[in-house]
Structure 1
């Protein structure tokens, strides 16, 4: 009888596993459906409410109201309409909405960058942030955009940490819900103080208050 040894077998296994990349394994985003109860459901409901799809008390329970809101969102964004908040639906929702922390961050930016501007101008500033989130050349999250190095003067000089007023929150929410008086702009600047020749080269879309908005 031919004798076998474990050494070649073990060596073969080691070689096989050596080609498997070792790194951080990210857990798949779990699908949420009727009956789910978690903080993820609370976040889902909050985001849907910022987009105008969900109303009433946020409970963290995936009920019939939540399923209906998910179906309406799926319908409007060309997704499979099944009332289940799967990874694709939630990824899309995150791109066009904010959670509680992001809404606070956006309101802080609006207040610190445009307090004293007309309300429409404050909405336009918030819209620039949301437009950058959608653009492939900027970070993919609200906070990523806001805290990108040298992106906003108010962050650099510390004014960002001022406490926003109710108008700033309202302006932020209007921008999240789709009002974009900036006309899809990615930049804005004050012509009285701008020193960058590059910003003047950008295609301008509209002037609101003290700001010129540009793409």
Structure 2
């Protein structure tokens, strides 16, 4: 009988441990966080670089490559936040950057994602009517779901040649308040573009190919296409 009780208690402990592990993973957004350090590459590194740049710690190129410049920026950020200055973007550093959990997340996107989407929206649709700004943000989100494009926000935005603001420096300009609101509205499902995956200004575009795309709608100076 005593052995039976010991077995039951052992099983209870195993179940409780499993529940604790599941709870921890869930609180981290449903997946184990990536440990980004020197040599790491990818979308998470781009998000880290973007967040560090937005806070004034990183001055380099947003290239998704964790090099010495990114490490130095991480160390400076860690020192400012009272974290161990090891230059590694582990769970605590990611959380401090706003990348490590569901806090501030919206529609499955982190606060950094919203900021990045707002930056591009502001640069690409400055002077456009508000619905046109939301439409530009929606196009970016539509590309994430389209098989012809990368399946992450950073991947879509940093795809070579995708957005002129990355080449002319427009992405570094001050972000309008309306662009933040437009980014959130698009994330929440408003799509004035009608499902478009391209847009262009016919007065500025020099691409013959883009003129061949079927136009879904026109908002302000932009034509939105499939």
Normalised-by-shorter TM-score class:
0.5 to 0.7
Query: 2:193 matched to 1:191?
Result: no
Query: 2:144 matched to 1:133?
Result: yes
Query: 2:172 matched to 1:161?
Result: yes
**Structure 2 unmatched runs, 5+:** 1-19, 31-99
What are the Cα deviations for residues 178-201 of structure 1, in whole angstroms up to 9, with x where unaligned? 000000000000011111111011
2:104 is paired with a residue of what secondary structure?
A: helix
Q: Distance in 2 between matches of 1:32 and 1:196?
A: 51
Q: 1:162, CA displacement in angstroms?
A: 1.2
Query: 2:164 matched to 1:180?
Result: no
1:206 is paired with a residue of what secondary structure?
A: strand
What are the Cα deviations for residues 41-75 of structure 1, in whole angstroms up to 9, with x where unaligned? 7633533xx23xxxxxxxxxxxxxxxxxxxxxxxx
RMSD of the alignment, in Å? 2.2
The TM-score, its normalising length taken from structure 1, stands at: 0.59
**Structure 1 unmatched runs, 5+:** 1-29, 52-96
Taking a change above 3 Å as real, the CA distance of residues 36 and 193 of structure 1, as seen in their structure-2 partners, is: closer
Taking a change above 3 Å as real, the CA distance of residues 164 and 31 of structure 1, as seen in their structure-2 partners, is: farther
1:19 matched residue in structure 2: none
> Which protein, 1 or 2, shows the higher relative CO under an 8 Å CA cutoff with sep ≥ 6?
1
Number of residue-to-residue matches in the alignment: 138
Q: Distance in 1 between matches of 2:219 and 2:121?
A: 14
Task: Give 4+ residue runs of structure 1 displaced > 6 Å after superposition.
Answer: none
Q: Distance in 2 between matches of 1:201 and 1:32?
A: 50
Q: Distance in 2 between matches of 1:110 and 1:150?
A: 16
